Chains A and B, each alone.
Chain A
Amino acid sequence: MKQIKEKHSVLMRWTHWVNFPLLTIMIWSGLLIYWANDVYSITLFGHTYVKFFPDWFYEALDIPAHLAKGMAYHFLFMWFFALNGLIYVIYTVVSGSWRELLPQRKSFKEAWQVLLHDLHIRKMLPPQNKYNAAQRIAYTAIIVMGFGSLSTGLAIYKPVQFATITWLCGGYHLARIIHFVLTIGYVFFFLIHITQVILAGWKNFWSVISGFEVIRSNKPMEIVPTANPKNDEKPKED
C-alpha cells in the first residue's frame, strides 16, 4: 500500500529554491567587487598555496573590470537575499519546525557517526527523524552563515553609520575577510550538499519540489499527517 508522507512545507520549498539563484547572483556580483581589491590568499611561511583568485578563474567567469556593475547588482539583490532569509527564519520559528533543525546535545556525537556511515566506515546510521544530526548541524550553520554575511556585509557597506556592527565584526578588515570566507563556505556547502542530494537519490530530491514522499507500507492508512515536531525527541522506526 502506498502512502503519502508529508515532508517539506510549501514555505520551506519556496525559500529554498528562491535562495538558490539569489545566492548565485550575490556570489557572482561579490566576485565582481572583490576583484577590484583581490588581496586574499592562503600563504604560509612565504609560500602562497592558493591565490584568490587565479587569472584563469577571473577570465573564465568574465570577472575583471566590472566593479560598478557588481556593486549595482549586489546592492539590489541583497534586499531579496535578506528578505528571503528573514521569511524562512520567521517561518521556522513560528511553525515550530526549528525543532527538527536545531542541533541537539546528541547531534554532535551523532553527526560523527553519520559522517563515518557516509564514508562507508560505519554500517549503521543513528536513528533519525526528518533530518539526521549532520543535516541539523549543516542546515543550522548555513542560516548562521547567512546572518553572518548580512552583518559583515552591512559592516563594510556602511562602516560609519553602522560603526557598532563593524566593531562587533572585529573591524573593517576582519569584516571583509569574514564576508569573503563565508562566501567560500557557501561554495563548499553547495558542493557537499549536491553530492549528498545525488547520493540520497531522486525521491529525496523530488520531495523538496513536491513536498512529500511516497512510502510503501502494509498499514492501510491513507495520509500520514505531518510529523508533530513535539514528538521529535522520540524517534520512531519507519
Chain B
Amino acid sequence: MKNQKKTKQPLTIDQKIKRRNFLSLGVFALGSAAAYKGWRWLSTSAEELTGVTGGAQVPLRRALNKTELFFRNFFSRNHLVKTYPKSMAVKNVRQNSDIGLESDIVMAEWKMEVKRSNGELMHITIDQIKALPKTEIVYDFKCVEGWDQIQYWGGLKMLDFIEHFGLAEETKTQYMGLMTPDKEYQVGLDMDSAIHPQTILAYEMNGQPIPLNHGAPLRLIIPVKYGIKNLKRIGYMTFSNTRPPDYWAREGYDYYSGL
C-alpha cells in the first residue's frame, strides 16, 4: 500500500537527478565495457590461414576485401595517371626488393610463358615484344611504404600486347596473374587494372634497357597500383576467375592495393 502511494507521486528533483545520473553512468559503463570487449575481440582475433592471402587477422582481411569492393566502384579505365615531362624523371630509380630476382637467369634464353584459357602455352621472346610499337610513360611511382618517385619507363602497352598476341578472350576473365621465372614473387591483378591503358610491359628505364635489379628483361609497370604489384622479371602470365597468388597479399597486405 505504501509503495503504491509512492509511485503515484511525481518524482522530486533529487530523485530525477539520481535516476538520470544512474542511467547515464550505467549506459556509459556498458558502452565502455562493450567497446573494450570489441577491441579485445578484434585485436586478439586469429590470423587467417595462408592461402591466396595471408598474414592478416580474419576480420581485418574481411574488411580489406569489402573495402576493395566499395572502392572498385570508383575505378575507371578512363581515369589516367598524371604524366610528367621526361626532364622531371629521377636518375636514381629506387630499388626496394630483390625477391624473385635472386635466381640465376640466362638472359638469352628468357621467354615469357603465357597460359591461354584453353591450356595452350605461348612462349614469347623479348625480341617479339620489342618489335612492336613502344609506349613510354613518365609518372609518379608510388610505394605502399609512402614514398614516391617520378620515373620514366618504356615498353609494350599491355593493351597492344593483348591485341597482338590475340588474348582478347583471356581478358574476359577476372584476373591476370604474373610470376617471376623462379616463381618466388607473384602478383594478382584485377583485369580492369591489368588492361588499364597505362599498364606497360616495360623493357626500358630512363631510355636504356632495364638493369637486372629493376627487373630485366621485362617487368610490369602498372601505375594504378602500388609498387608491390609492379612485378620485376616476368616469367609467367596466367588468366583466371579466381585470385592468382600474390606475394604481399600473403604477408598481410591488401590484395587490391589500387590507387
> Residues of A at under 8 Å CB distance from B?
1-4, 17, 21, 33-34, 36-37, 39, 67-69, 71-73, 75-76, 79, 158-163, 172-173, 176, 206, 209-212, 214, 222
Cross-interface CB contact of B35 among A21, A163, A212, cutoff 8 Å: A21
Q: Please tell me which stretch of B20-28, B117-125, B127-135 contacts chain A, meaning at least 4 of its Cβ atoms lie within 8 angstroms of it.
A: B20-28
Residues of B contacting A: mostly: mixed
Q: Which of B71, B140, B252 contacts A161 (CB 8 A)?
A: B71
Asked if B31 is at the interface (CB within 8 A of a chain A CB), the reply is yes
CA gap between A120 and B182 in the complex, in Å: 72
Chain B: interface size category? 35 or more
Q: Which residues of B contact A (CB under 8 A)?
A: 13-14, 16-17, 20-21, 24-25, 28, 31, 35, 39, 55-57, 59-61, 63-64, 67, 71, 74-76, 79-82, 140, 142-148, 223-224, 248, 251-254, 258-259
- Chain B CB within 10 Å, residue with most, of A17, A76, A206, A212: A76
Q: Which one of B16, B61, B79 lies within 8 Å of A72 (CB-CB)?
A: B61
Verify A160–B81 contact, CB threshold 8 A: yes
Enumerate chain A residues within 8 angstroms of B71, measured Cβ to Cβ: 158, 161
Which residues of the other chain, A, contact B35 by a CB distance below 8 angstroms? 21
A72–B140 touching, CB < 8 Å: no
Given A17-B31, A75-B254, A209-B28, the answer on whether A158 and B17 have CB atoms closer than 8 Å is no
By DSSP majority rule, is chain A's interface helix, strand, loop, or mixed?
A: helix
Residues of A within 8 A of B82 (CB): 163
List the A residue with the shortest CB-CB distance to B144: A67
Which one, B21, B28, B248, B258, contacts A17 given CB within 8 A?
B28
CB of A73, distance to nearest CB on chain B (Å): 7
15 contacts between A and B (CB under 8 A): A2-B13, A4-B13, A36-B145, A68-B252, A69-B56, A71-B144, A72-B61, A73-B60, A76-B59, A76-B63, A158-B74, A161-B75, A163-B79, A176-B146, A210-B24
